[in-house]
């Protein structure tokens, strides 16, 4: 594929009827990892939520693999999303969490399981499949969340400060693992963080959120708080 | 703490021992009578068990199916009228069951024959609030990012609900379902007024064994069977609700309406449906009270004071109302004193877990069991209190006391006890210091409790049907008696009484809600 894996054109984002930023134009090449840095509350998470379709765009468009998906339902966009917290499905085992997306695609059970084992092994979680997710440590849970997002081979992976809930030692180790994982999978990714060091370590390109997003004037919204 | 408060527990303990433990003991002594069990096995009580199980199960499934979408809409989305819709759902639950039964008869008319369908419908109506409250409070804290994650993994909206949301709500659903099941399984008023041979419950069987067959040992044996089954279901419900997986909760924050038109329509339609479902039976009841001989009329309303409806055994409707209000006031007094002191005991001894335990007691001991036990213990020589007019309010206060404790204890615990120390250092004697710290709260919550106890007493039917004397029935008992007689007049007068009961109950519940609104632990939430 020649064009960008993901592109946004003049995208306006916001939530609860409040515009947060506008005119966001961005392109992510195949297998490229782009980091977006900016202070918390600047709208980075809203941008990811808008690309994923969790929050509707207020204007402009989102294009994934050449297809305009601005009006497409979340589950048909082919986007993986990892939040700050792992949000593992508590009633499912590690294996069932990781194979969740493949089961939605009606992949054969053995194929799904093989893929899950491959990812779990890669992330240093050999033999964790049958475990209850409540037994996992914070770092392990976040690894499982990453494996779950990668399993259905999304066109783009969106990482929303996935390490910020972990302590710094663990954060560094996990960031390294994830960076290797993304290269191995050849997946395009946007990694949102407020940690510049983490951003430069993990990504091919670092963008400051303020550089390409025109933050809406908060005062115009009528609320100073 | 004033010293005398250390002995506060004596009053509730003595009350419960005398009026709960002793009657249950007497009931138990009848259970030992092998004749009761012989007759139980020979009788058709065993045919009632599967019927009641099927009825309660169907009622529960219906309440859950209707309750889930309502819980979703009224506890999670922000829209005009949401709070009102949430309050409306509670109305059927606080209405006396006898009133609900009559309202459903008025709504559906003679076109829908009495029986299984009508009973199940009425049970689902009453218990909607249980599902909406328990599941809704859980759902409101549910982090929508779980579904969003599932959606990004390729799950459709429905698949995400089915595979993620529903399993995560399962403990709350199980817990509410077990409560609905028990209410439907031990239902009496609705079954008597709307049911047929296929909808008998053990509760109605106990009443029949007592009042028609005069088979006290048999009735006692039936009560034990019911108690065992009910306890098993409640324990199963508690176990299921304990098995809550650790998950991220989010602070309760209402979300805006869905962006899609279809989503908006679904939310608004569900809210509208809620209002219609709740209001329709009550509206039909009011209309019935103003219809005589096929036209609008005040005949039934003007007749309430004079009508004895042809027989001397049924007093005037107004006298039943006076009896009920009198009983309600005595019940409120007793329940507030006993429950208030029990709450103070919880405060002084710090037994917070006792509250939750106490709140379940009236669930486990059905009103017929309570009525029968009280009747056996205090309704016959050597101790015959039936003439005193105290049996009904005492039985009612037994139902109300746990609710009073559930309202008062959390309020007392939420107050800052350091105020008492401050008052003491300023020279206040212990009792004065206690009142300085807790007096203001006590005044509010005791008033709320009194309102709650009155509402419970006014609507209670099960125990009263055992204990009320033939000459002075309570309003719910009077309604059932009126409906057991043919004629439009009986029906019209019953509707008038039911409307009055609805009005009184709603005024009381509104009062309780208003008083509770200022408190950190809302009264209605606890009740």
Predicted pLDDT at A159: 93
Q: Which of B145, B151, B245 faces A75 most closely, judged by CB atoms? A: B151
- Say whether pLDDT at B517 is over 80: no
Contact B154 A152 (CB under 8 A): yes
Predicted pLDDT at B312: 44
Contact B167 A91 (CB under 8 A): yes
Cα–Cα separations (whole angstroms), residue B381 to B222, B375, B386, B387, B391: 24, 11, 10, 12, 14
Distance from CA of B67 to the nearest CA of A (A): 23
With contacts defined as CB-CB under 8 Å, which chain A residues touch B165? none
- B199-240 pLDDT tens trace: 888 888 888 887 777 777 888 888 888 888 888 888 888 887
Q: A62 at the B interface (CB within 8 A)?
A: no
Predicted pLDDT at B354: 64
Q: Which of A77, A91, A104 faces B168 most closely, judged by CB atoms? A: A91
H-type alpha helices, B77-165: 82-94, 97-108, 116-140, 145-152, 157-160
With contacts defined as CB-CB under 8 Å, which chain B residues touch A56? 259
For A45-49, B128-132, B351-355, B391-395, which range has the lowest pLDDT when averaged over its residues?
B351-355
Predicted pLDDT at B36: 66
Q: How many CB pairs under 8 A join A and B?
A: 77
For B114-128, B204-218, B296-310, which range has the lowest pLDDT when averaged over its residues?
B296-310
Instruction: Note whether B258 and B404 are within 8 A (CB).
Output: no
Predicted pLDDT at B358: 61
How high does pLDDT run on average in chain B?
83
Instruction: Note whether B448 and B523 are within 8 A (CB).
Output: yes
Instruction: Note whether B121 and B104 are within 8 A (CB).
Output: yes
Residue of A nearest to B166 (CA): A91
Contact B152 A154 (CB under 8 A): yes
| Residue to test with chain A: of B146, B149, B167, most A Cβ within 10 A | B149
- Say whether pLDDT at A65 is over 60: yes
Contact A152 B153 (CB under 8 A): yes
With contacts defined as CB-CB under 8 Å, which chain A residues touch B153? 75, 80, 100-101, 104, 148-149, 152
- Say whether pLDDT at A171 is over 80: yes
Q: What is the value of ipTM here, to two decimals?
A: 0.85
Predicted pLDDT at A221: 30
Q: A93 at the B interface (CB within 8 A)?
A: no
With contacts defined as CB-CB under 8 Å, which chain B residues touch A148? 149, 153
Nearest to B342, CA basis, from B1, B4, B5, B3:
B5
Predicted pLDDT at A70: 92
Residue of A nearest to B146 (CA): A87
DSSP three-state, residue A35: strand
| Residue to test with chain A: of B138, B143, B152, B255, most A Cβ within 10 A | B152
CA distance A80 to A68: 17
Q: Is A92 left (phi over 0), alpha (psi -120 to 50) or beta?
A: beta
Nearest to A65, CA basis, from A27, A102, A34, A36:
A27
Contact B152 A89 (CB under 8 A): no
Buried/exposed code over A130-159 (b: 16+ C-beta within 10 A; e: otherwise): eeebeebeebbbbbbbbbbbbbbebbbbbb
Each as own residue / partner, the long-range contacts of residues B316-322 (CB below 8 Å, 24 or more positions apart, any chain) are: B317/B478, B317/B493, B317/B496, B317/B497, B319/B472, B320/B472, B320/B473, B320/B474, B320/B475, B320/B477, B320/B478, B320/B497, B321/B475, B321/B497, B321/B500
CA distance B319 to B307: 10
Predicted pLDDT at B472: 83
Higher pLDDT, B152 or B235: B152
Predicted pLDDT at B13: 85
CA distance B469 to B462: 14
With contacts defined as CB-CB under 8 Å, which chain B residues touch A85? 145, 248
Q: A23 at the B interface (CB within 8 A)?
A: no
CA distance B175 to B131: 9
With contacts defined as CB-CB under 8 Å, which chain A residues touch B254? none
Predicted pLDDT at B352: 61
Predicted pLDDT at A197: 84
Residue with tokens 């908006």: B264
Interface of B with A in 163-222 (CB under 8 A): 163-164, 167-168, 170
């Amino acid at each position: 594929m020649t064009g960008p894996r993901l592109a946004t054109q003049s995208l306006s984002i916001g939530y609860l009827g409040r515009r947060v930023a506008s005119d966001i134009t961005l392109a992510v090449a195949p297998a490229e990892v782009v980091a977006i840095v900016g202070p918390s509350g600047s709208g980075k998470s809203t941008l990811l939520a808008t690309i994923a379709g969790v929050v509707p765009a207020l204007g402009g468009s989102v294009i994934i693999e050449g297809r305009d998906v601005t009006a497409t339902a979340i589950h048909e966009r082919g986007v993986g999303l990892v939040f700050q917290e792992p949000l593992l499905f508590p009633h499912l085992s590690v294996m069932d969490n990781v194979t969740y997306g493949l089961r939605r695609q009606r992949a054969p059970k053995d194929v799904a399981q093989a893929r899950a084992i491959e990812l779990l092994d890669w992330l240093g979680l050999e033999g964790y499949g049958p475990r209850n997710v409540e037994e996992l440590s914070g770092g392990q849970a976040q690894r499982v969340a990453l494996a779950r997002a990668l399993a259905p081979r999304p066109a783009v992976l969106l990482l929303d400060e996935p390490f910020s809930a972990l302590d710094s030692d663990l954060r560094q180790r996990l960031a390294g693992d994830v960076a290797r994982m993304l290269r191995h999978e050849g997946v395009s990714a946007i990694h949102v963080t407020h940690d510049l060091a983490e951003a430069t370590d993990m990504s091919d390109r670092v963008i400051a959120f303020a550089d390409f997003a025109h933050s809406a004037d908060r005062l115009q919204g009528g609320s100073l708080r | 703490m004033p010293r005398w408060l250390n002995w506060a527990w004596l009053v509730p303990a003595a009350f419960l021992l005398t009026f709960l433990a002793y009657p249950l003991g007497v009931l138990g002594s009848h259970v030992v009578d092998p004749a009761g069990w012989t007759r139980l096995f020979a009788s058709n009580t065993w045919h009632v068990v599967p019927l009641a199980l099927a009825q309660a199960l169907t009622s529960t499934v219906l309440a859950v199916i209707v309750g889930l979408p309502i819980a979703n809409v009224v506890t999670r989305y922000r829209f005009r009228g949401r709070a009102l819709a949430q309050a409306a759902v509670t109305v059927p639950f606080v209405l006396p069951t006898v009133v609900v039964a009559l309202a459903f008869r008025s709504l559906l008319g003679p076109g829908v024959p009495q029986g299984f369908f009508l009973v199940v419908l009425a049970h689902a109506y009453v218990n909607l609030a249980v599902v909406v409250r328990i599941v809704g409070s859980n759902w409101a804290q549910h982090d929508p990012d779980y579904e969003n994650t599932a959606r990004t993994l390729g799950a459709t909206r429905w698949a995400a609900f089915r595979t993620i949301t529903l399993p995560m709500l399962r403990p709350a659903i199980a817990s509410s379902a077990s409560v609905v099941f028990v209410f439907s399984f031990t239902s009496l008023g609705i079954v008597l007024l709307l049911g047929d041979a296929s909808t008998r419950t053990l509760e109605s069987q106990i009443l029949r064994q007592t009042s028609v067959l005069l088979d006290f040992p048999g009735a006692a044996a039936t009560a034990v069977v019911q108690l065992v089954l009910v306890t098993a279901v409640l324990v199963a419900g508690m176990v299921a609700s304990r098995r809550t997986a650790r998950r991220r909760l989010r602070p309760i924050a209402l979300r805006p309406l869905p962006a899609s038109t279809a989503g908006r329509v679904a939310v608004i339609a569900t809210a509208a449906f809620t209002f219609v479902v709740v209001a329709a039976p009550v509206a039909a009841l009011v209309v019935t009270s103003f219809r005589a001989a096929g036209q609008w009329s005040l005949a039934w309303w003007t007749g309430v004071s004079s009508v004895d409806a042809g027989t001397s055994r049924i007093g005037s409707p107004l006298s039943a109302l006076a009896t009920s209000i009198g009983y309600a006031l005595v019940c409120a007094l007793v329940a507030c004193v006993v429950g208030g002191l029990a709450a103070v005991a919880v405060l002084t001894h710090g037994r917070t877990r006792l509250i939750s335990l106490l709140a379940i007691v009236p669930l486990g001991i059905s009103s017929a069991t309570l009525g029968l036990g009280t009747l056996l213990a205090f309704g016959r020589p050597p101790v015959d209190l039936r003439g005193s007019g105290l049996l009904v309010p005492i039985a009612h206060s037994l139902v109300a006391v746990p609710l009073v404790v559930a309202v008062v204890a959390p309020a007392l615990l939420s107050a800052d006890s350091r105020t008492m120390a401050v008052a003491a250092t300023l020279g206040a004697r212990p009792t004065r210091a206690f009142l300085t710290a807790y007096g203001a709260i006590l005044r509010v919550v005791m008033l709320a409790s009194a309102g709650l106890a009155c509402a419970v007493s006014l609507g209670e039917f099960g125990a009263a049907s055992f204990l009320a004397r033939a000459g002075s029935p309570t309003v719910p008992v009077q309604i059932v008696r009126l409906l057991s007689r043919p004629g439009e007049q009986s029906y019209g007068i019953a509707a008038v009484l039911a409307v009055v009961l609805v009005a009184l109950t709603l005024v009381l519940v509104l009062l309780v809600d208003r008083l509770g609104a200022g408190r950190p632990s809302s009264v209605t939430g606890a009740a």
